[in-house]
Amino acid sequence: MRMDYVQTHAEEIYDSLTAGRAKYLRIDELVRAAAVAYPGLVPTDEQMAAERSRPQAEKAGREIDQGIFLRGILRAPKAGQHLLDAMLRPTTRALQLLPEFVESGVVQMEAVRLERRDGVAYVTLCRDDCLNAEDVEQVDDMETAVDLALLDPSVRVGMVRGGEMTHPRYLGRRVFCAGINLKKLSSGDIPLVDFLLRRELGYIHKIVRGVFTGDSWHSPFVDKPWLAAVDSFAIGGGAQLLLVFDHVVAASDAYFSLPAAKEGIIPGASNFRLSRITGPRVARQVILGGRQIRADEPDARLLVDEVVAPGEMDVAISRALASLDADAVRANRRMLNLAEEPPDEFRRYMAEFALQQALRIYGEDVISKVGRFGAG
């Protein structure tokens, strides 16, 4: 059985694919290498290309085999930790853009604008046509932006905020994030490896741990404090993202929700983080019951640090950024994150997530629920 084989031989398989852990392969590179070295263990490039050409409802479910493989690798202590470190290394794209960003302080991407001003990296989500709904391009742009903010020595603090929308319903208003792009999920364009796993193991984990460089004797990671500013709403992946920030400012008319259970999928690492932040009862109400939390109700203070009138957001953001720029903040937030989210616990959660989410995106209920978005 595939699962038993990978679980039994995970360390051996991983060492053979990475030359004894001398090579750092990202998850997409790892599954491609495994397809060549271990025929039949995971889908080939040709098989995955055929899958990508089909809507979700017509796929053969080959990503489930990828989920089985990655579950086994992540469960193995040495291989799993090495893979996490590989995913925390800067992307090739970010390294190519770094000289330009250091010099100009601006990088404009399709889904994200990054601008450095007075030591702050302002990351603005700018997919105004879809209310910053998440897809593969958005994840790629976000990881690039986070890498650049962490690697630029002139940046001391990072901040994420939604830009102004052209969508008729929110014309001229800022929106943080509408969650996963359900139309893309229905059309088969939300992959397990390049989206669902990459966003968790890539840029979101980098906000927590930092980017892995291995350059310093006192820490192999370059990490910095992060602030999030929520205008209008943070739905799904947007709400998930808030759980890793050091400070969150929200407008009083904003709201938060994790509708993944209604959609049929698992809301990333929220099941790992939310109970710690809100307590188990509220976490179950939000994740299992689809409860929406308004910024002006008491439980919102479990998710955000400050709630201010919409017209006071800029002032509150400036004040919070100044407080995060204190000398001792970086070391203390590193120790807080280590205590609150031990790497081994995160690794074990993500191992199970790799398989369970792979199964969920092919569930009949998910196909049925998101199918209506395919006609749009």
| Domain chopping of the chain, boundaries | 2-86+345-375, 91-340
The amino acid present at 23, given as its one-letter code, is K
DSSP 38: S
Rounded percentage of the chain residues whose pLDDT exceeds 70: 99
Q: Residue 310 and residue 350: Cα distance in Å, rounded?
A: 36
pLDDT of residue 260: 80
Q: How confident is the model at residue 374 (pLDDT cuts 50, 70, 90)?
A: low
249-274 mean pLDDT:
94
More confident of the two residues 260 and 163: 163
The two tokens of residue 266 are: 């698992």
Q: Which of the two residues, 260 and 313, has the higher pLDDT score?
A: 313
Residue 374 DSSP SS3: helix
* pLDDT value of residue 57: 94
> CATH classification of 2-86+345-375, choosing from 1.20.58.1300, 3.40.50.1980, 3.50.50.60, 2.60.40.10?
1.20.58.1300
**Could you tell me the pTM of the whole model?**
0.96
What's the rounded Cα separation, in Å, for the pair 74 and 351? 5
Q: What is the pLDDT of residues 133-155, one digit of tens each?
A: 999 999 999 999 999 999 999 99
The answer to whether 161 touches 124, Cβ cutoff 8 Å, is: yes
- Going by C-beta distance under 8 Å and a sequence separation of 6 or more, which residues neighbour residue 297? none
Phi/psi for 155 (5° steps) reads -90, 130
Asked whether the domain spanning 91-340 has the same topology as the one spanning 2-86+345-375, the reply is no
**Taking the C-alpha atoms of 331, 334, 340 and 341 in order, what is their torsion angle to the nearest 10 degrees?**
-170
Q: What is the pLDDT of residue 373?
A: 65
- pLDDT (tens digit, 9 = 90+) per residue, 182-221? 999 999 999 999 999 999 999 999 999 999 998 778 889 9
**What's at 213, amino acid-wise?**
T
Is pLDDT at 376 greater than 70 in this prediction? no
Average pLDDT of the residues of the chain: 96
370 pLDDT band, cuts 50/70/90, is: confident
User: Is the Cβ–Cβ distance between 269 and 200 less than 8 Å?
Assistant: yes
Whether pLDDT at 41 is above 70:
yes
Rounded to 5 degrees, φ, ψ at 174 are -80, 140
Enter the CATH code of domain 91-340: 3.90.226.10
Whether 318 contacts 279, CB under 8 Å? no
For residue 167, the model assigns a pLDDT of: 86
Q: What is the pLDDT of residue 371?
A: 74
Q: Give residue for tokens 């980017």.
A: 211
